[in-house]
Amino acid sequence: MKDCLICKTPIEPFMSFGKMPLGNGFLLPSEFEQEYFYEMLVGFCPVCNMVQLLEQPDRERMFHENYAFFSGTSSFMAKHFALFAQDVIQDYLTGSTDPFVVEMGSNDGIMLQNFAQAGIRHLGVEPSRNVAEVAIARGIRTVTEFFSADLASKIVAENGQADAFLAANVMCHIPYLHSIAEGIKVLLKPNGVLMFEDPYLGDVVEKTSYDQIYDEHTFLFSVTSIGYLFAQYGMEIVDVVPQHTHGGSMRYIISHKGARPVSERVHAQRQKEIAMGLNRPETFDQFRQSCETSRGQLKQLLEGLKAEGKRVVGYGATSKSTTVINYCGITPDLVEFISDTTPIKQGKYSPGAHIPVMGYEKFTENYPEYALLFAWNHKDEIMAKESAFIQSGGRWIVYVPAVGIV
Ligand code: JHZ
Ligand code: SAH
Ligand code: ZN
């Protein structure tokens, strides 16, 4: 039993993935012996409905000066964040003289560059030094720290309150969300908005995309669980906007209670969550069974291809793939190597299973018969540029929403 990180109700896991390494823990052979593992247990809180990890590595193990994920590796995501910034500017900044925007988890500046270019006062809060340095080099104001209630007070003292507090794919990474909510409460102007997006629990359940569960993803959010958390700080969700990014995400727009009208979409999405059973423990027993079925099918497919002597290469050394590879027992004899465009991952080995990670040229210079699409969330972007692979006779292996060859 562990206490729910949001409401302190004691909860039991509905699923164990067993011992897992760090999702972004790409490593060298000299580091194999000391590789870090933790027990990946997932629980559902029947009171606040938050889905969460019951054990998690310390934050410094995950976010540091050698962080492996650079947001700028996807051009589709760069466009997404340009549109996100445009929405913020149009909908929430036009009425303000000298507006101020804070982003938590700003990484290489993929979102804030749009505010910097528009001459809008901004501040990124990004603890992983190597990615933060990319942003700083591009003229984006960034502090290399973890956001917290203490840091929020410092930011206010130095810059005044913010019109908008933004966070993409980071809120769900933070177990100490009470400190974050407290900080945002202090940081936001009376009419300010909090806008954040993260993978949506409804999509994960619907698509059996269990690979969204790994060390960095402490939580899988829903409108219900997020509403519960922020209500404790006198804040409310005023709008929700589903997103196609990262395999199905939700954008939450939150303000101080009563400051803005609440969209009908918020209530409608809560009703959908009830209809999907996201408030019931049985849903997660069912989810576990679906994960087990998916695992069996993927393993069988890869073993069959191996028996036929086919070459299979992984496409995208994603953090998500760490869960799939280790949960399904995918070994270097089933997947020859993983192709990835991120320099810091190349020449290293995948966490746990130690499949080599190679530069993209290794993929193009000798196409395999099959590519296992670990970066399935970037499918449209990838398919659009891989016609030569298909023309060479290559096929894609996918596992979300179902295992198959496409
Ligand atoms: P991608 C990371 O997850 C970690 P990951 C984190 N926890 C999170 O939530 C999201 O990001 C935001 C490569 N690639 O985006 C680049 C190609 O090689 O699915 C990346 O290594 N060729 C913060 O790691 C990986 O794939 C390509 O054409 O699951 C994609 O990682 C493209 C498009 C990507 O996030
Ligand atoms: N927003 C970007 C980056 C997501 S990666 C995108 O959507 O692509 C998550 C980032 O959050 C990492 O760069 C990590 O270093 C950072 N992070 C983790 N904990 C944080 C915290 N407490 N405060 C601020 N950033 C944090
Ligand atoms: Zn709870």
Over residues 93-135, the pLDDT tens digits come to 998 999 999 999 999 999 999 999 999 999 999 999 999 999 9
Test site for ligand 2: of 70, 107, 148, 178, most ligand atoms within 8 A of the Cβ: 107
Backbone φ, ψ for residue 258 (5° rounding): 85, -10
The ligand minimizing its distance to the Cα of 10 is 3
Provide the pLDDT for residue 115.
98
The ligand minimizing its distance to the Cα of 106 is 2
Q: Mean pLDDT, to the nearest integer, of 345-367? A: 98
Determine contact, residues 121/140, Cβ cutoff 8 Å. no
Strands (E) in 182-221, as ranges, are 188-199, 219-220
What number does the ligand 1 atom closest to the CA of 214 have? 7
- Give residue 267 CA to ligand 3 midpoint distance, Å: 20
- Give residue 276 CA to ligand 1 midpoint distance, Å: 28
Q: Residue 305 — pLDDT band, cuts 50, 70, 90?
A: very high
- Measured CA to CA, the distance from residue 325 to residue 102 in angstroms comes to 36
Residue nearest to atom 21 of ligand 2 (CA): 146
Q: Give the global pTM.
A: 0.98
Determine contact, residues 156/182, Cβ cutoff 8 Å. no
Question: Is 321 a pocket residue for ligand 1 (Cβ < 6 Å)?
Answer: no
Q: Residue 336 — pLDDT band, cuts 50, 70, 90?
A: very high
C-alpha dihedral over 104, 35, 53, 60, to 10 degrees?
Answer: -30
Q: Mean pLDDT, to the nearest integer, of 71-84? A: 97
Backbone φ, ψ for residue 255 (5° rounding): -135, 175
Question: Is 221 a pocket residue for ligand 2 (Cβ < 6 Å)?
Answer: no
Question: Is 218 a pocket residue for ligand 1 (Cβ < 6 Å)?
Answer: no
The ligand minimizing its distance to the Cα of 128 is 2
- Give residue 104 CA to ligand 2 midpoint distance, Å: 6
What is the per-residue pLDDT across 173-185, written as a single tens digit (0 to 9) for each?
999 999 999 999 9
Test site for ligand 1: of 170, 315, 340, most ligand atoms within 8 A of the Cβ: 340
C-alpha dihedral over 240, 243, 246, 251, to 10 degrees?
Answer: -20
Residue nearest to atom 14 of ligand 1 (CA): 316
- Measured CA to CA, the distance from residue 195 to residue 163 in angstroms comes to 11
- Give residue 337 CA to ligand 3 midpoint distance, Å: 40
Evaluated on CA atoms 224, 227, 231, 232, the torsion sign reads: positive
- Give residue 378 CA to ligand 1 midpoint distance, Å: 8
Residue nearest to atom 18 of ligand 1 (CA): 340
- Give residue 45 CA to ligand 3 midpoint distance, Å: 5
Mean of per-residue pLDDT scores for the chain: 98
Question: Is 233 a pocket residue for ligand 2 (Cβ < 6 Å)?
Answer: no
What is the per-residue pLDDT across 145-198, written as a single tens digit (0 to 9) for each?
999 999 999 999 999 999 999 999 999 999 999 999 999 999 999 999 999 999
Beta partners for residue 370, in sequence order: 312, 395
Question: Is 252 a pocket residue for ligand 2 (Cβ < 6 Å)?
Answer: no
- Measured CA to CA, the distance from residue 288 to residue 290 in angstroms comes to 5
- Give residue 38 CA to ligand 2 midpoint distance, Å: 21
Beta partners for residue 403, in sequence order: none
Percent of the chain with pLDDT over 90: 100
Q: Mean pLDDT, to the nearest integer, of 47-62? A: 98
Q: Mean pLDDT, to the nearest integer, of 235-243? A: 98
